[in-house]
Structure 1
Amino acid sequence: MTGDTGARMRRPGRKVAACLAALLPVAVAVGVYAFGRTHTPDYTSGLFGQHGVGVFELKARLGSALMALAIVQLLLGLWMYRRLPGAGAAPHRVHPTHRLIGLLAFLLSLPIAYQCITAYGVDFTSSRVAVHSITGCVLYGAFVAKVLVVRSRRLPGWALPVAGGVLVAAIALMWYTAALWFFTGSAPGF
């Protein structure tokens, strides 16, 4: 096999990986959106025994914990790829710690998302609620994108920081439009 033939054989694999990395996250986001728009909301839905204002406070606290985990994830990711100024090379234990915290963040997000989507669905009653709803759909698409990018060796080097950045940005926007809004009475600009 010549070098040219080997290069041609590798290109389709890279294109398929890139296509999957782009389409599957979009399909997940669209699927969450479609469910949220067609599902009949149950405004009485609770979370861990909390109802009414208690649910809002619990979700705001859980969302704040999720935001803290996302910040830790961002810092660990920057450290692993030597982009954290003054930190030097990350010790080996940082990699599994990053994975574990990512798993914890994902698991923490699930009850929040479940209560939001079953109680309210995807709603456009105000700009804050619309941004929150759409960002919630994007968040799970971004999570799928990050998992695919991390697992693939065929995608360009910029794909991982973009996927991770979108995921952290989505969590931050979700926190801004819900937890901060709850704790302050209304977030600036909404």
Structure 2
Amino acid sequence: MTTGRRGPHRSLPVRAAALAIGAAVSVAGSPAIRSVARHDTPDYDSGLFGAHGTQAVDLKARLGSALWCLALVQLGLALWRYGRIPGLRPPPRRVRTVHRLIGLVAFLLSVPIAYHCVAAYGVETTGTRVALHSVSGCALYGAFAAKVLVVRSRFLPGRLLPLVGGALVCAIGPLRYTGALWALNGSDAPGL
């Protein structure tokens, strides 16, 4: 199913520009966050919605797990909307609205989690888990920026939308694995 809102197919440079902007946000975000983290001393007692210390870590892990669940719901809705789930009839129009609302909730949920990560711990690249977590966090917001550009653009082909949407889900997965799962599993994540 196509949305019908895109014009004729555009050139490769236009498509590459959208992906380059998302990649630039991701790549530029890492040094920017690292710069902030170097100038700010991490505050391990930083609070999150009134929780401090291990309680804040537990809350952040639970919120991160909720974010992962929302991302999976988003993926399912997108697959349904574009007719990629065999056996399901075309979705009602409200699926588009639900998809957007859940996306907004997921983004808003990600902001305090990311803020607490940067404020409490800064950016660390000393170990595999924390380096992967930091890079995935930057990729998340880069993918989000690219998705917003593709969704709002009348010049970019609609075929880019599944690519940037998939990148968004793929960025949240490692964040949940290296952060929320790690914290909820007694500071252990298999393979890390």
d(CA) in 2 for partners of 1:69, 1:177: 18
Amino acid of the residue matched to residue 94 of structure 2? R
Aligned counterparts of 2:178 and 2:11: Cα–Cα separation in 1: 37
Deviation at 1:29? Answer: 1.8
- Asked if the contact 2:15/2:160 (under 8 Å) is kept, the reply is no
Q: Equivalent residue for 1:133?
A: 134
Report the Cα offset of residue 88 of structure 1.
Answer: 1.5
Q: Which residue does the alignment assign to 1:5?
A: none
Matched, 1:22 2:19: yes
1:158 is displaced (CA, Å) by 3.2
2:87 and 2:155 map into 1 onto residues whose CA distance is: 30
1:188 matched residue in structure 2: 190
Partners of 1:23 and 1:63 in 2: CA distance: 27
| Equivalences for residues 14-163 of structure 1 within 5 A | 14=11, 17-39=14-36, 40=40, 41-163=42-164
2:32 maps to a residue whose letter is F
Q: Which residue of 2 aligns with 1:3?
A: none
The runs of 5 or more residues in structure 2 that have no matched partner are 1-7
Instruction: Give the TM-score normalised by the residue count of structure 1.
Output: 0.87
Q: Give the residue type in structure 1 aligned to 2:22.
A: P
**Structure 1 regions of 5+ residues with no counterpart?**
1-9
**Deviation at residue 14 of structure 1 after TM alignment:** 4.9
Q: Deviations over 1:57-101 (max 9, x none)?
A: 000110011011101100000011000122120101000110010
Bigger drift between 87-96 and 15-24 goes to 15-24
Partner of 2:172: 171
Q: Which has the larger radius of gyration?
A: 1
Shift of residue 133, structure 1, vs aligned partner? 0.5
| Cα drift, residue 154 of structure 1 | 2.9
Q: 1:50 Cα shift?
A: 1.2
- Between 75-84 and 113-122, report the one with greater CA deviation: 113-122
Amino acid at match of 1:82: G
The total of aligned residue pairs comes to 180
More off after superposition, 112-121 vs 23-32: 23-32
Q: CA RMSD in A?
A: 1.9
